[in-house]
């Protein structure tokens, strides 16, 4: 296929449909090395991919209104072309209908699709364009209208009610801001915003975190932003920026990030710790460990962090204990659907039974690694009770030597409203315009 934005988007979407791998990973692979004619084409391709996945169920409903052929029997490339075309017509106001249709059909022709097929796609897209007013007036179930699986819609309606669920579903389908965490030891938020503005990037201070910057309409690759190579900032949502401070008050000794991943919270914690303090970061995945090392090097933190390429259980049994332990646990990710739209299609009710078992197992291991009087912080990017407060309650029932403490006093004043009645951090996309996060601060008794 050619290196036009539509062709690249269709190719990535075909890979996603076939391989069932995370969309971020497939997009990074699919966009790498592409010789786009215009630098803006990369952003358009990414917007097409995420937009189609975000509105997938609604797009398929629209296509089904105009196609006599069942969608399940369509060739993958044909179906993705229709989705890309319909998405442009109904959701991308900046793209003229003629360009949306003609360029999508041109991508199919470049892929040497038969004339009858390109004619079918061309005709269907033109019919959608003519009938878009009728589509807007259709009465649809919330799961179709907002492109969420029915099991999740039912779940949220039972917990939040119909009105708030409608707001949450709609918010999930809005493109998220790009949020940066500035290293205030190297620069200031004001200087970083000014430098971004000089490069034509509009940015504003964060709403909850003093080191945060929001870019509401990001353009291009993060690596191209001024200050990236110098280690001025790390990409991190404000909700995630509130987790590492919960390990305070910090003192000399050793701290542990038991689920480091790519290092968003690892690097934040390393920047918060006193100079003589050692941070250990556990990450058993070799690809993620490599990216973690790259982030640490770029931010000038490689000498502050000891990385461990094994499972958390490997640290147990040696008598090693830490003043603070962070468990940013594997979870359903249902709180970050806005940022990762494919999660809604990759999860099911069984995941809310599976993940808590993993989370409790990690906490049980971590409990033995916390020194008397030390802090254990448990965090997820989920708003689901089974993964959040219920896991904490089960952990505390099994570990009477730990107590939950109030997270509020350790957060910036602007974030006071993000703490629930139990003193846990609990953010929601529709209420706070943040990723949906949860964090509990647990202290081991000194005696």
pLDDT at 1 over 80: no
Q: What is the DSSP string of 175-241?
A: PPPEEEEE-TTT--HHHHHHHHHHTT---EE-SS-TTEEEESS--S-GGGSTTTTTT-EEE--HHHH
Helix (H/G/I), strand (E/B), else coil: 191: helix
Mean pLDDT of 276-289: 92
Task: Lowest mean pLDDT of 16-20, 75-79, 87-91, 353-357, name the range.
Answer: 16-20
Position 314 scores a pLDDT of 86
Last residue of a domain, one of 114, 139, 164: 139
pLDDT score at 317: 66
Nearest Cα residue to 429 out of 146, 225, 57, 56: 146
Distance CA 447, CA 443 (A): 12
Whether residues 303 and 422 fall in one domain: yes
pLDDT confidence bin for 25, thresholds 50/70/90: confident
Mean pLDDT is highest, among 134-138, 205-209, 313-317, for: 205-209
- Report the CATH number at residue 415: 3.40.50.150
pLDDT (average), residues 263-285? 94
Are residues 91 and 48 located together in one domain of the fold? yes
Question: CA-to-CA distance for 433 and 172, rounded, in angstroms?
Answer: 10
* pLDDT, average across residues 43-48: 92
- Whether residues 421 and 369 fall in one domain: yes
Average pLDDT value for residue range 58-71: 95
Average pLDDT over residues 290-298: 94
Measured CA to CA, the distance from residue 48 to residue 70 in angstroms comes to 23
CA 178 vs. chain centroid, Å, equals: 11
Indicate whether 223 and 257 sit together in one domain.
no
Tell me the Cα Rg of the chain: 23
416-441: b (≥16 Cβ within 10 Å) or e: eebbeeeebbbbbbbebbbbbbbbbb
In this predicted structure, the answer to whether residue 221 has a pLDDT above a threshold of 90 is: no
Calculate mean pLDDT across residues 311-339.
Answer: 91
Residue with tokens 């072309």: 81
pLDDT at 437: 98
Q: Count of domains in the chain? A: 4
Q: What is the mean pLDDT of residues 165-187?
A: 96
Same domain, residue pair 266 and 414: yes
**pLDDT confidence of residue 81:** 97
| pLDDT mean over 427-434 | 96
What DSSP state is assigned to residue 38?
S
As given in the structure block, the two tokens for residue 91 are 């959701």
249 and 397 belong to one structural domain: yes
424 and 304 inside one domain: yes
* Structure-block tokens of residue 443: 């202290």
Percent residues over pLDDT 70 in the chain: 99
Q: Please check whether residues 40 and 162 belong to one and the same domain.
A: no
> Are residue 202 and residue 300 in the same domain, yes or no?
no
Encode pLDDT of 335-358 as tens digits.
Answer: 999 999 999 999 999 999 999 999
Write out the catalytic residue numbers.
381
Residues 19 and 104 placed together within one structural domain of the fold? yes
pLDDT at 87 over 70: yes
Q: Give the structural domain span for 335.
A: 239-444
Question: What pLDDT, on a 0 to 100 scale, did the predictor assign at position 60?
Answer: 97
Model confidence at 31: pLDDT above 90: no
* CATH number of the domain residue 190 falls in: 3.30.70.1170
Instruction: Based on the fold, state whether residues 80 and 162 are members of the same structural domain.
Output: no
pLDDT bin (cut points 50, 70, 90) of residue 367 is very high
CATH number for the domain spanning 93: value is: 1.10.940.10
Which of 101, 96, 71 is CA-nearest to residue 84?
101
Is the same domain home to 385 and 267? yes
Rounded CA gap, 83 and 86, in Å? 5
Question: Sign of the CA dihedral 233, 235, 240, 243?
Answer: negative
């Amino acid at each position: 296929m050619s290196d036009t934005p539509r062709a690249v988007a269709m190719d990535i979407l075909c890979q996603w449909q076939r391989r069932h791998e995370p969309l971020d990973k497939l997009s990074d692979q699919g966009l790498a090395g592409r010789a786009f004619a215009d630098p803006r084409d990369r952003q358009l391709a990414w917007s097409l991919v995420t937009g189609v996945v975000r509105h997938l169920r609604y797009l398929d409903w629209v296509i089904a209104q105009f196609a006599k052929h069942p969608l399940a029997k369509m060739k993958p490339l044909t179906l993705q072309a229709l989705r890309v075309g319909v998405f442009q017509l109904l959701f991308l106001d900046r793209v003229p209908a003629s360009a949306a249709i003609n360029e999508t059909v041109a991508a199919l022709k470049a892929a040497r699709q038969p004339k009858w097929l390109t004619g079918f796609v061309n005709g269907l897209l033109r019919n959608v364009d003519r009938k878009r007013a009728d589509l807007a007036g259709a009465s649809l179930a919330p799961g179709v209208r907002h492109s969420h699986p029915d099991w999740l819609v039912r779940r949220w309606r039972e917990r939040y009610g119909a009105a708030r669920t409608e707001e949450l579903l709609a918010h999930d389908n809005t493109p998220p801001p790009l949020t940066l965490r500035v290293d205030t030891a190297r620069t200031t938020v004001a200087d970083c915003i000014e430098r971004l503005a000089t490069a034509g990037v509009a940015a504003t201070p964060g709403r909850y975190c003093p080191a945060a910057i929001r870019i509401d309409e990001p353009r291009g690759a993060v690596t191209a932003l001024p200050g990236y190579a110098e280690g001025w900032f790390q990409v991190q949502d404000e909700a995630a920026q509130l987790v590492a401070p919960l390990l305070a008050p910090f003192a000399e000794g050793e701290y542990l990030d038991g689920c480091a991943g790519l290092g968003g919270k690892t690097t934040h914690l390393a920047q918060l710790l006193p100079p003589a303090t050692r941070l250990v970061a556990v990450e058993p995945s070799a690809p993620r460990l490599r990216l973690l090392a790259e982030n640490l090097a770029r931010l000038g933190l490689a000498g502050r962090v000891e990385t461990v390429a094994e499972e958390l259980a490997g640290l147990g049994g040696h008598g090693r204990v830490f003043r603070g332990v962070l468990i940013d646990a594997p979870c359903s990710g249902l709180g970050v659907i806005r940022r990762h739209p494919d999660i809604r299609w990759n999860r099911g009710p069984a995941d809310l039974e599976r993940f808590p078992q993993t989370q409790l197992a990690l906490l049980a291991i971590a409990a033995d690694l916390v020194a008397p009087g030390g802090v254990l912080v448990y965090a997820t990017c989920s708003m689901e009770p089974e993964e959040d407060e219920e896991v904490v309650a089960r952990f505390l029932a099994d570990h009477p030597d730990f107590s939950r403490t109030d997270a509020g006093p350790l957060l910036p004043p602007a974030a006071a409203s993000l703490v629930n009645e139990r003193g846990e951090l609990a953010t929601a996309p529709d209420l706070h315009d943040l990723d949906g996060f949860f964090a509990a601060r647990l202290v081991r008794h000194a005696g």
